[in-house]
Structure 1
Amino acid sequence: MKAFRLYRLVVVTVALFLWFTTAAFSETVITGKVVGIADGDTITVLQDKTQYKIRLYGIDCPESHQNFGTRAKQFVSDLIFNKDVRVIVHDTDRYGRNVGQVFYNDLDVNQAMVQAGYAWVYPQYCKKSFCSAWNGFEQAAREKGIGLWSHPNPVPPWDFRRGVRGSSAEKNKDTSKNQEVTYHGNTSSMVFHQPACKHFNCKNCTAVFQDREEAIEAGYRPCGGCRPSGIHNASLKNAARGTY
């Protein structure tokens, strides 16, 4: 009788161990419709009347006020907004968001963002075995000069969030009339300026655009004083009444 009780205790103990082990190592899967796009790497998925905020695992897209932030958001929106997706949750971040891989049919959306040049592989957090392949996709996008890699020395978003706005080489680069015009956007007023405008170096003019269309696409409006038109005009150096 004692032997049977001991045997039953052992069986129950093993069963509980296996159950807890399986629960600990299994990954949550969320399936539902994408009902929100916050930015290139953050979406909202509706599953059974419950909304889940999803942070795309292992990648980091440009911030909304960075170059290509708007384009990254539009790219992921075109891929999956209002569509049914499957999310394999790998982690939960400090904001309580589910961090995972997003799949639309057989398309790995995280990977697609990297391949299209709209995201960096996030080295601090991309620790899965497939991250090495993603690094290869990022390098290929760099070499092709697509997406954000079409700009020289783009600032990684994790540096941008710490206040880094470009290398000293970029800050000191020649801005003579023989070069292509670069527009600077004020992240507070959402106004962009010509280089010759007196507000070109204002403390909030940290968004940089290579052409007028890109600035407008990012949600900025032209300065009322220097009136950036896409053509460099030396006379604009006297502009003194730009709105910012």
Structure 2
Amino acid sequence: MVKKRLLFIVFFAFIILITTFAHADISGKVVGVADGDTITVLENQTQYKIRIFGVDCPEKSQDFGTQAKQFTSDLVFGKTVQVIPEEADRYGRTVGTVMVDGKCLNEEIVKAGFAWVYHQYCKKPICDQWNRYEEAAKNAKIGLWSHPNPTPPWEFRHGAKASSKTENISTTTNAAIAYHGNVKSMIFHAPGCKAFNCKNCTVVFHSRAEAIGTGYKPCGMCKP
């Protein structure tokens, strides 16, 4: 019985130890700024990729993406910061609150109008205050709010993914279409045409433009 209790105590202490280390603050020098809400901190020769908690800055290819990155860089690059971790995201980055020179970087970005409060993930009580900072920046029309209708980055990312999928489908579809050219008549046919697999249809074109550019004419029946 005593042995079981001892094992339980050791196990419990081990869990506490792991939890403590998993959420230990990171204190180090900022050696990289990827964008407005992602920085790299160097602590004891180890680099940590930090995703700033609760805010979402414009992507680099969006309006104000460059300005948001510059704002964050001006505040923290080369300085020692303290990161209070919240969790690790799916990319392996540490998500946390960043303190620099006695200020909260998360708040400063929102105040300056270079980020939205990320409502999907920002559920802590402090987020209510950040929402007020966002509203104030919006009313003052500063930063990205100087634009009449800024696009939230999560919508921008969703649109980019949808566009990429459409392009991939289009490319795949076009690549799948092959035209057969008749080497004697110099006429090319589309798939499904009666003459598509004719005896002399031995030339393959991967696009209509390629066939016409080679001197072939479209079939009058299938009209490729």
TM category (shorter chain) comes to 0.5 to 0.7
2:158 matched to which residue of 1?
Answer: 162
Shift of 1:43: 0.6
1:48 aligns with 2:44: yes
Q: Structure 2: how far apart are the matches of 1:65 and 1:136? A: 27
Shift of 1:19: 4.6
1:161 aligned counterpart, secondary structure: helix
1:74 aligned counterpart, secondary structure: helix
1:151 matched to which residue of 2?
Answer: 147
Task: Give the number of equivalent residue pairs.
Answer: 159
2:214 matched to which residue of 1?
Answer: none
1:24 matched to which residue of 2?
Answer: 19
1:127 matched to which residue of 2?
Answer: 123
1:116 aligns with 2:104: no
2:77 matched to which residue of 1?
Answer: 81
Runs of 4+ in 1 over 6 A off after TM superposition: none
Tell me, yes or no, if the aligned pair for 1:28 and 1:90 is still in contact at 8 Å. no
1:138 to 134, 140, 160: 134
1:102 aligns with 2:98: yes
Q: What's the C-alpha RMSD, in Å, of the aligned pairs? A: 1.8
Q: Structure 2: how far apart are the matches of 1:125 and 1:28? A: 21
Q: Structure 2: how far apart are the matches of 1:15 and 1:106? A: 38
2:8 matched to which residue of 1?
Answer: 13
2:32 matched to which residue of 1?
Answer: 36
Tell me, yes or no, if the aligned pair for 1:117 and 1:142 is still in contact at 8 Å. yes
Amino acid at match of 1:20: I
Shift of 1:11: 4.9
Q: Structure 2: how far apart are the matches of 1:103 and 1:109? A: 6
- Per-residue displacement from partner, 1:90-110 (whole Å, max 9, x unpaired)? 111111111111111321001
Amino acid at match of 1:101: T
Shift of 1:153: 1.4
Unaligned 5+ segments in structure 2 are 161-224
Amino acid at match of 1:38: A
Shift of 1:163: 1.7
Structure 1 144/45 Cα, relative in aligned 2: closer, same or farther at 3 Å?
same
Q: Where in structure 2 are the equivalents of 1:147-226 lying within 5 Å?
A: 147-163=143-159
Q: Percent identity?
A: 53
TM normalised by structure 2 equals 0.66
TM normalised by structure 1 equals 0.61
Larger Rg: 2
1:176 matched to which residue of 2?
Answer: none
Higher-helix-fraction structure: 2
